[in-house]
Amino acid sequence: MSFSSNNDDDPAALRELIRRVLYGVHTSMPGVITAVGVYKGVRVVSVQPVIQQIDTLDDVSTFKAIDPIPNVVVIVPHAEDLGLSMTIPLRKGNEGMIHFAERSLDNWIEKGGVQPPAEPVQPRSHDLSDAVFVPGITSAANPITNWSDEAIEVRNEDASVALSVSPSTVAMRSGGAVVSLPGDGKIYLTGDVIHTGDLTSSGDVTGVSGIETGSGISLDNHTHGGVQTGAGNTGVAQ
């Protein structure tokens, strides 16, 4: 289809022209990490867009893979003034969402703050080179299973290892061991506890059964030697 001046008043031709122009405007699409690195001190990834590009020539459309985009900035929660961040491992093959900025990001990435676009004469707009990456979107081929509808969780794939925060409880679990804070002022532990260092208590220490000292003396079933009446002392616990 030709788009000469003779078609300027043809609504169908104008719509087709707009449609073809919009094919070249990049907004956002899923992507997969192909490499991880550092660019000017910033953690970046190379990302392969996973939606193929439509190329049309002589009214014939073909699909073509878009080349991986290098040096893409990664978006993570970051409280800059407090120096607090929430980072995640970035690995080749991880999926996420690519967003394309309205203007070039080069000056901002290098200097921060309010900056003019890198090309003020002919500024880039929604260009592939001005991408940012948000990790975490998943396809049906790589779903998150055992999803909790009651709590925010930091977890492994099957949720057998997790830090879980619900409206009333904070809990950690791993390998059958559980630490739970249900909001009643108590800490509940499930599993064997191995402690290194001093342990100081300002309250009572109550044992149900089977408590022993480090030398193997039972606290609820032991004997003393040297028992005698009067002001003397018994022997050590046995």
Query: How many domains, the chain?
Result: 2
109, 142, 175 - which closes a domain: 142
**Contact yes or no for 131/99 (Cβ under 8 A):** yes
Q: What pLDDT does residue 1 have?
A: 43
| One-letter amino acid of 78 | H
116 and 14 in a common domain: yes
Q: What is the CATH classification number for the domain harbouring 115?
A: 2.40.50.230
150 and 86 in a common domain: no
**37 is written with which tokens?**
């690195």
Poorest-confidence range of 52-56, 139-143, 173-177? Answer: 52-56
Parent domain of 54: 5-142
**Residue 110 is assigned to a structural domain of this protein:** yes
131 and 27 in a common domain: yes
Q: What pLDDT does residue 31 have?
A: 96
Average pLDDT over residues 10-27: 79
Q: What pLDDT does residue 3 have?
A: 46
21 and 98 in a common domain: yes
pLDDT at 212 over 70: no
153 and 94 in a common domain: no
Q: What pLDDT does residue 210 have?
A: 64
Average pLDDT over residues 181-198: 93
**Residue 183 is assigned to a structural domain of this protein:** yes
Give the start-end residues of each E strand in 75-183: 78-79, 84-85, 95-100, 131-135, 152-155, 162-165, 170-174, 177-181
Q: How many CA atoms lie within 13 A of 168 on its CB side?
A: 3
% of the chain with per-residue pLDDT over 90: 45
Q: What pLDDT does residue 7 have?
A: 54
126 and 17 in a common domain: yes
**Residue 236 is assigned to a structural domain of this protein:** no
62 and 166 in a common domain: no
Q: What pLDDT does residue 138 have?
A: 87
205 and 92 in a common domain: no
Distances 89 to 33, 71, 111, 115, 144 between C-alpha atoms, Å: 12, 17, 26, 30, 16
Poorest-confidence range of 18-22, 155-159, 234-238? Answer: 234-238
Q: How many CA atoms lie within 13 A of 159 on its CB side?
A: 12
**70 is written with which tokens?**
């290098």
**Contact yes or no for 132/98 (Cβ under 8 A):** yes
Beta bridge pairs of residue 147: none
| One-letter amino acid of 204 | D
